[in-house]
Amino acid sequence: KAGVTQTPRYLIKTRGQQVTLSCSPISGHRSVSWYQQTPGQGLQFLFEYFSETQRNKGNFPGRFSGRQFSNSRSEMNVSTLELGDSALYLCASSLTGDGDTQYFGPGTRLTVL
């Protein structure tokens, strides 16, 4: 089975722009979670989707949003980018979405200038 894929792998944007990141889970996995990793804050949970429904949301401003499609692929969007949004964005998928083993994608490294 193919692993979790994320596109693009690298992105450079300027302040005020918006960005959309994509995640394709392992085939058959219905749960997709998104995480942000920065040197200062470490790994932080953004959101979790299961069967197109957002089940959990982390403590991030409303500029961060996401969605999941019927084929379980997920996107996250960040609007009005700030310098502090520069980070590695990781998505992970799992079969059951109930705390089962998660399989991580390689991440998208976003740089905001």
Residues within the interface to other proteins (CB under 8 A): 31, 33, 35, 37, 42-45, 48, 50, 55-56, 58, 88, 90, 92, 94, 97-104, 106-107, 109
Which residue lies nearer to other proteins by CB, 15 or 43? 43
In the bound state with other proteins, the residue whose beta carbon lies nearer, of 12 and 43, is: 43
Residue 32 CB, shortest distance to other proteins, in Å, is 8
Q: Which is nearer to other proteins, 80 or 96 (CB)?
A: 96
| Least distance CB 42 / other proteins (angstroms) | 5
Least spacing, CB of residue 75 vs other proteins, in Å: 17
To other proteins, the closest distance from the beta carbon of 94 in angstroms equals 5
Q: Write the DSSP assignment of the chain as a string of letters.
A: ----EEE-SEEEE-TT--EEEEEEPPTT--EEEEEEEETTTEEEEEEEEETTEEEEE-S--TTEEEEE-TTS-EEEEE-S--GGG-EEEEEEEESSSSS---EE---EEEEE-
